[in-house]
Amino acid sequence: MSIENEKDLEGLRKIGKIVAEAREAILKAVRPGITTAELDEIGGSILNKYGAKSAPQVEYNFPGYTCISVNHVVAHGIPDRTVLQEGDYVNVDVSAVLDGYYCDTGASIVVGREAMNTKDDLCRCAEESLYLALEKVKAGGKLNQIGRAVQNEAKKRGFTVIKNLTGHGIGRKLHEEPDHICNYYDKSDTRLLKEGWVLAVETFISTGAEYIDEGSDGWAYITPDKSLVAQYEHTVVVTKDKPIILTAI
């Protein structure tokens, strides 16, 4: 999607605030003893309060309002009776639609405070590399500089990036052009960013694996070696200067 008028921008800002509120409410509720289904209900209640619909449910009939992934499950984890334990790694991914406009956001967290170790470092790297990548989001810039920024930061901090999960265009649908906003530098990608584009930029930073596999339930993506992956994501609008971050609090 490319923003054409003020109505488009306001519609995106509205749904962006809703998914950000849901994301933060779920993250705040993460603690030992809570189930991923209970977390999902928190997110769903916020979407319902504003009349928004879960994008995965609308577009793919996903069995949950949100995707909540635990430990070596990287993405698209189905909320269920899984009870979180101290030290578990959790990713929360919230996408929704309101009045025909979509936004997508995500964040990763470690359960409890005992695990002040590699898991926390991984989450910080995923978040900080996202903001470094967003510094490259400017009209006329090369799209592949987003991936270069993420990959450079991950490598500097001793991590790798997942190469077969990427960011994407968004706006009128959950997934639009430009597709495959990679987390690594692809010199063959000559696409230039255009003013008004709406992008879901998401980092996938790994402790080991560079590629993910499909899980047995037909939804979840997992690492084949049980390494951990942190994801952070914002939906943004490309401008001539700094991007507008629609899903920031």
Detail the residues annotated as belonging to a binding site: 76, 93, 104, 168, 175, 202, 233
User: CB–CB of 165/204 below 8 Å?
Assistant: yes
Minimal CA–CA distance to 38: which of 99, 81, 67? Answer: 81
Q: Which residues of 78-102 are buried (b: 16+ CB within 10 A; e: fewer)?
A: bbeebebeebbbbbbbbbbbbeebb
Dihedral sign of CA atoms 212, 62, 68, 105 in order: positive
Which residues sit in the known binding site for substrate? 76, 175
Q: Is 9 helix (H, G, I), strand (E, B) or coil?
A: helix
Whole-angstrom distance, CA of residue 156 vs CA of residue 97 = 37
Q: Which residues pair with 75 in a beta bridge?
A: 221
User: CB–CB of 247/105 below 8 Å?
Assistant: yes
Query: Can you list the positions of beta strands (E) in 100-174?
Result: 101-110, 160-161, 167-169
Which residues sit in the known binding site for a divalent metal cation? 93, 104, 168, 202, 233
Tokens, residue 43: 């997110």
Backbone angles phi, psi at 170, to 5 degrees: -155, 170
Residue with tokens 């993460």: 30
